[in-house]
Structures are given as structure tokens and as C-alpha cells.
Structure 1
Amino acid sequence: MTPDQRDLLVTGLSNGTIVPYLGPGVLADVRSVATGAVIPATSDALILAMNDGRPMAPKLMYEFPRAAMNVELKRGRSAVTRFLTRTYGETEYTRGAVHDWLQALAPRYVVDINRDTQLQDSAASRPHNLIVGVARIGGTPFRYKLYTWTGEAYREVEQLDMALPLLFKPMGTPRPEATYVASDADYVDYITELMGGFAIPPELKAYRQGKRYLLMGLRLNRDTERMVMADIVYSAAQPAGWILLPDPTAKERRFCRKVGLEIIEEDVFEFIGAAQPA
């Protein structure tokens, strides 16, 4: 990456013309305060953590939603919810370098497909909007809940305050209430409504038009994450933005060309000038 390109990206993140889109890789340096273990964020790490450190059958190891579906069928959906809440809501972790870096930039709108609370912690000092993805709920076609952070607590609202920053957690979070999109059944429901336009608030649909994105800490070799991303960045500018992607595969290169993402072959820690995770 040239210095001019880096300056372009940092300036765009700061002024809101470029939206950071955070994947599991941004948490690679985050560790449990109690044990020193890396936070489970990638698909493989989540599966192992959910199964007490033991690998599951090869067909279930393919992707976390598939493994979560297996647990849901055997022990109920609540078992998956309890695991994710214990992992992300009840375990204390160190701060991640990427989140500290973003906090200093104070971007106007952030998409975070992780289920941890570091992004919310970064914004806790100022009022903001929180959009949380939900799945398989009755009585409404909408697949999101909206909250405003008052500086002390989250309050559920019916409409976004567009004067405030926007935090979008499509796969859920333990706060203010434990809500997750995790299993295959969750994703089928969520992606269906996302494609139908019912998983993005109308105010956000208008705001996101013409934005560009910087994908950070995300691989694009899984159909589920690609489908979610493609619909969340719908109506982006063309080209749609950039992705920090070391050693891209041929499949990732083809997909990035298709959706208009320029590949920058370095990882997020190199981009922000932080030490590589051990």
C-alpha cells in the first residue's frame, strides 16, 4: 500500500465516506484477562470453544453456523445462546488494537459482524445508535432491533437518530440483551429478510447510499459471510471499496472483482501499524 492510498483510506474512515466493515481477524490480539486465551472469533475457534475444545465431525467443522445448527438440534437454541453469551458477555477480555485505533478515528458508521462488545465499549463515552440483527422472531418481518445509548444505558427505540453515530451488529451482541444470528436456521431467515429489505432500517438504507467500505479482518471464502456482506453494502458506490486481504485465493479474487472490491494484500495489523498478534 502506498502512503497516498493509506492517507485516502484513513481520511475516508474519519470523514464518513468510507465505512469500516469488521470481521473476525480484527480480534486476533484480544485475550481473556483470566486465562490469556485468544477470544474465539473465527469459525474454527468458535466451534472448538462450543465443543469444549474438541473438533466436531469434518462436515460440521466446515462453518460455525452448521456446527451451531447441530448443537441447536440436539440441545435447543438456548444452548447456542448461552454459549455465545458466556463467551462474549460474561468473559473479560483485553482491548484490541484495531478497536483502539478506530476509537481514535471515531467513524460515523461501523459494520461489525463479530458478536463481542468491543465496538460498543469504544462508543460508550458518547451517545450512539445500535442496530442489532435478529432472526426467527414472530409478529414482524423486520430482522433488527434499534437502541440508543444515552451515556448510561441502552434504550430501545423505533427509529434511528441520524444525528448520532451508527453501530451495526448484524450477527448480534450480548448487550443490551443477548440476541444472535448463529445457526444455519438463523442465517437462512436473516439472509432471506436481508435480501428482501427487512433487515436494514429505512434510515440506514438512505444513509448508506454511495458509501465505500473497507473490509478489515475478513476472509471471503465462505458463502454465508459473502452473502451477508453483499447485501449490507448494497447501493454502495462503484467501485464499492477495498479489502485488507493477505494471500487471497483465486475464489476470493473472483468474488472481489464481481462486487467491486480492490484487494490490498496486507493484514489489518500491518495497516494500522500495530504489532502482529502472537
Structure 2
Amino acid sequence: MPDASDSLLGKLGGDIASGRLIPFLGPDLLCLHDPPVVPTGARELAQLLSAKTAVPGRLRNNLWHAAQYIESNRHRVTLDRLMADLFAPIPAPGPLHLWLAGLTRLPLVVDTWYDGTMRAALTASGRTDWGQVQGASKARRLDGGIWTRAVDIGGAIVDDQTAADWATVLYKPHGAAQPTGDVLVSDADYVEVLTEIDIQTPIPETVRERRTGRGFLFLGCRFYDQILRTFVRQICKRSGGRRYAVVPDGLTRNEIRFLAAEGIEPLVMPLNDAISILTH
């Protein structure tokens, strides 16, 4: 007999398919099948960046600080090149990515990592009614200080009205390696965003509209870092729906407190098992 979590996940899968629940994806999804071809978390990425250029030991486990050190001491071009190289491979989409890509009633997918997996799944679906909205780094805001950019399926930057007309928006709040290579990763990238995010200015209007009245299901996400928690809190703000997270055993005390404070119900089970239930 299925347990309560299995039954709930089956219902949540139906809610995603009907557009009532928004999937919120994290980098742990990239660890489920083949050996990952890109970094799969902030700490791992910080260590890889630090291994490619000299970063003080005290900064090597903090992505935002390590990236800022590289930007300040080796120039932003160096940081952008390192990020582009590390995320040049595009992981093969897994069952969850492919399933989500085929859901024409799904208005929004939030994808918090820099890789191109979900974009590749949407491209492979053959759909033409979707596009990507991504965070824009401070270093590349050369066109009036905008917070985000909308990019169509061909990689062209388009206006906000075009993005509002898409059936499905892939929202990459921290930027994306593909197709523009524009990412938020250093302290300087985040300082203005974090100053304004409480009043929602950096959250795209189409995302704010699409989240209204809907809940979220977190898949492959961890909540151990303050910047990650802040983005979760602000992206979900005023959404109105219930929130759930598939999580492993062994969450940190900070993560447990955060889930409780944000009203996110933890579903403790292996991620692969959860995906199997959701997609069948």
C-alpha cells in the first residue's frame, strides 16, 4: 500500500501537469544518473573556480566570495570565461526535465542552476511557445541597468511583452550559461539585487503574474546558503499556494528552520523515487 508521501506526490504531479503547481529545480537533479558533466552545487563550483585560479583558502568554499575575488583580481572577463568553460557541456535531460518540457499547461519552471539541461529538454520537445527569462549580471548591464533578460528559443534577446505571451517561461534567476552566458555569481552581482529584492524589483513581472495563486514543489534544491534562501523566499513571495520540498535525510538545522519559517512541507524520500511517482 502506498504511503502518504507517495499519494501526495501523485496528486502534486497532477497539479504540475494542470499548471496549478510550479516546479522549482535545483542542481541535485544533475546527480541522479550519469556522472555529472558540470558542477552540481555552490560549494563544488567554488572549489573548481578556486582550483583554476589562485583564491585564498578562506574563500574557497564560498562561491560568491571566490567569484568576487577572481573578478576583482583577475578581471570579470576571466570569471566569465571560467564559468563558460565549466558549464559548456549540457547534461542530458532526465525524465523529470523531459516530462516538464512536454506540459503545455505549465506556465512557469524555476531553475536555479547555471546549466542548460532544462532548456535542452524544452528545445527537444519541439515546442515553440516557450522562452527563457534570466537574471542579468551587474557586469553586463550595459543597457539601462535592467535586472533580467528575456531570451527566445533561438537565443535572441526579446522584449518583456514577447515573454509575457509565452505559454511556458523558464526562469533562471541566477542567470544561465546558455545561450547568452550571463550569470550572477560574484558578490558584486548580488549586492544590488539583494538590496532591491525585498520590494520585488528584480523579480520579472511575468514571473510575479504566473506565480499568483499557485504553489511550488522544490526538487533537487538545498537551502544551506543565505543567498539561496533569500531567492527562494522572494520568488515565492505572495504566490498564495502551498509549498512542498522533496528533501533527503540529514538537513542542517538552518535548512529545517527555513522550511518551517516559509511554510514549506518537507517530503523526505530519495529524489529518484519522487520523480518516478511524479512523472507516471
Q: TM-score range by the shorter chain?
A: 0.7 to 0.9
2:144 counterpart of 1:140: yes
**Structural mapping, 1:105-124, within 5 Å:** 105=103, 107-124=106-123
After TM superposition, give the deviation of residue 9 of structure 1 in Å: 1.1
Residue 98 (structure 1) aligned to one of 96, 103, 115: 96
Map residues 190-269 of structure 1 onto 2, 5 A cutoff: 190-237=193-240, 240-247=242-249, 248-269=251-272
> Considering only aligned residues, what root-mean-square deviation do their CA atoms show, in Å?
2.5
Counterpart secondary structure, 1:262: strand
Distance in 1 (CA, whole Å) between partners of 2:100 and 2:82 is: 28
Q: Please state whether the residue corresponding to 1:168 is helix, strand or coil.
A: strand
Instruction: Give the direction of change, closer, same or farther, for the CA distance of 1:228–1:2 in structure 2 (3 Å limit).
Output: closer
Letter in 2 for 1:126: R
Instruction: Describe the shift of the 1:203–1:47 C-alpha distance in structure 2 as closer, same or farther (beyond 3 A).
Output: closer
Q: Deviations over 1:6-63 (max 9, x none)?
A: 11110111111111111111111465xxxx6642121222123223379965531332
Whole-angstrom CA distance in 2 between matches of 1:163 and 1:73: 38
- Bigger mean CA deviation after superposition, 57-66 or 46-55: 46-55
2:51 is paired with a residue whose SS is: coil
The superposition leaves residues 176-223 of structure 1 with CA deviations (integer Å, 9 ceiling, x where unpaired) of: 311000011111122223323222222332221121101111111110
Unaligned runs of 5+ in 1: none
Residues 75-94 of structure 1 aligned to structure 2 (within 5 Å): 75-88=74-87, 90-94=88-92
TM-score using structure 1 length = 0.86
Contact 2:16 2:23 in 1 (8 A): yes
Contact 2:93/2:120 (<8 A) preserved = no
- Give 1 or 2: higher helix fraction: 2
Is residue 37–residue 89 contact of structure 2 (8 Å, CA) maintained in 1?
no
Relative to structure 1, the CA distance from residue 213 to residue 201 in structure 2 (aligned partners, 3 Å threshold; closer, same or farther) is: same
Q: Do the aligned partners of residues 12 and 207 (structure 1) sit closer, same or farther apart at CA in structure 2, a change above 3 Å counting?
A: same
Identity %: 23
The question of whether the paired residues in 2 share the 8 Å contact of 1:193 and 1:199 is answered with yes
The aligned residue for residue 130 of structure 1 is: 132
* Counterpart secondary structure, 1:95: coil
CA contact (8 A) 1:244 1:268 kept: yes
User: Does the CA-based 8 Å contact 1:71-1:79 persist in structure 2?
Assistant: yes
Read off the aligned partner of 2:247 and give its amino acid letter. L
Structure 2: state its 5+ residue gaps: none
Residue 175 of structure 2 corresponds to residue 176 of structure 1:
no
Distance 1:271 1:145, change over 3 A: same
Q: Is the 2:91–2:116 Cα contact (8 Å) retained in structure 1?
A: no
Shift of residue 165 of structure 1?
0.7
Normalization by structure 2: what TM-score? 0.85
The 2-side partners of 1:83 and 1:217 are apart by: 24
Contact 1:29–1:38 (CA under 8 A) maintained in structure 2: no
Partner AA of 1:192 in structure 2:
T
> CA contact under 8 A between 1:142 and 1:198: conserved in structure 2?
no
Please say if residues 55 and 61 of structure 1, whose CA atoms lie closer than 8 Å, have aligned partners that are also in contact.
no
Cα contact 1:30–1:94 (8 A) shared by 2? no
CA contact (8 A) 1:243 1:262 kept: yes
Return the letter of the residue paired with 2:164: D
